[in-house]
Amino acid sequence: MTLTIDGTEPPSAASVKALAAICDRAEEQARNHGGAGMVTMHVAGAPEGAWTSGLDVMLVTKWERVLRRLERLPTATVAVASGDCGGSALDVLLATDIRIAAPGTRLLVPRDGSATWPGMAGHRLVQQVGLGRIRRVVLFGLPLGAADAVRLGILDELADDPAAAVEAASELVAGLAGKEMAIRRQLLFDATTTSFEDGLGAHLAACDRALRGEGAAEGPL
């Protein structure tokens, strides 16, 4: 399951449909086979100029909702980035589990004319690395080089051979149960905003599932 996202283009009805379709396939595969599987997203490009002229808030809402679906799939997700990566390409990158980049990749929060674009990429960046370390990137659109992005944990690795890195990622997730992986991911998300006391119940429920063998019963692909 592979999809290419061109960040030079703004989100469109076609890109929403394409991303929703791959989410449908991943969810169906998880239902039918149980294993986590893997979705690979190739992302590149960043918007320039008056790139928001064809957008409206309804389309942006649909785009953000399908990104949230991608972020919650019962499937491992991998992004392979190259060159400048902003706009919809950055959105998709930040919603994946494993992030691989070619040397020379740069991450950019694009401008929409008067300021940087206030989409959820900024929210994800702050959640994932903290306000202080990402402030200038989000406020002023300063490019973030690949090496710095690895250091901050936004990217996982730089790879001269992205295909080999994707193969290694596939081996990493082999045999994992899709539903269980989605639960673990949600526990990670919640940990950034939830106290120990409030998070305990969800963790204990996941432990109970593991002890009952419910995840193992799903089986691998």
pLDDT tens digits, 89-140:
999 999 999 999 999 999 999 987 789 889 999 999 998 998 888 999 999 9
Question: Residue 106 and residue 141: Cα distance in Å, rounded?
Answer: 11
Could you tell me the two tokens for 57?
């808030």
**What is the DSSP secondary structure assignment for residue 51, as one 8-state letter?**
T
Q: What is the pLDDT of residue 173?
A: 79
Locate 215 and state its tokens.
């995840």
- 127: its two tokens: 């959640």
Res 35: pLDDT: 65
Q: Are 134 and 191 in contact (CB under 8 A)?
A: no
CATH says 2-173 is which class? alpha beta
- Of residues 107, 105, 99, 104, the one with CA closest to residue 157: 99
Encode pLDDT of 192-204 as tens digits: 888 888 888 888 8
Residue 168 has pLDDT above 70, yes or no: yes
From CA 50, how far away is CA 32, in angstroms rounded?
44
Identify the band that residue 34 occupies on the pLDDT scale cut at 50, 70 and 90. low
| Contact by Cβ (8 Å): 15, 88 | yes
**What are the tokens at 96?**
């994946």
Per-residue pLDDT band at 219 (split at 50, 70, 90): very low
Number of helical H runs and strand E runs in the chain: 10, 7
Sorting pLDDT into bands at 50, 70 and 90, what band is 15?
very high
Q: Where along the chain do its domains lie?
A: 2-173, 178-218
**Which residue is listed with tokens 């106290």?**
195
Q: CA-CA distances (angstroms) from residue 78 to 75, 122, 162?
A: 10, 20, 11
The listed range with the strongest mean pLDDT (58-67, 169-178, 204-213) is 58-67
In DSSP terms, 14 is beta-bridged to none
